[in-house]
């Protein structure tokens, strides 16, 4: 019984570690720009899409 529980917990921890590492690697590839003009110039130069992120506290 203990062996079965240990295997399940170990598998859960392993999957959690793999998911966390892939998220960290993916976030390291994002290059944030400070202005819209700089971002649009970089997007035209590299041919990549642009994502605009904004919000308000109304």
pLDDT for residue 41? 92
Please spell the DSSP secondary structure of 3-58, one letter per residue: HHHHHHHHHHHHHHHHHHHHHHHHHHT----SSHHHHHHHHHHHT-----------
DSSP secondary structure code for residue 2 in this structure: H
In a domain, 54, yes or no: no
For residue range 1-57, what is the model confidence (pLDDT) as tens digits?
667 888 888 999 888 888 777 666 665 567 678 888 998 998 899 898 888 888 889
Give the chain's end-to-end CA distance (angstroms, integer). 55
In a domain, 29, yes or no: yes
pLDDT for residue 25? 67
Domain that holds residue 34: 2-46
Per the structure, how many domains does the chain have? Answer: 1
Task: Look at the block and give the residue holding tokens 């598998």.
Answer: 11
In a domain, 21, yes or no: yes
- What does pTM read for this prediction? 0.41
In a domain, 11, yes or no: yes
């Amino acid at each position: 019984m203990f062996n079965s529980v240990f295997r399940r917990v170990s598998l859960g921890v392993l999957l959690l570690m793999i998911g966390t590492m892939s998220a960290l690697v993916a976030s390291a590839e994002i290059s944030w720009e400070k202005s819209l003009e700089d971002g649009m110039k970089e997007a035209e130069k590299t041919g990549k899409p642009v994502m605009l992120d904004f919000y308000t506290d109304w």
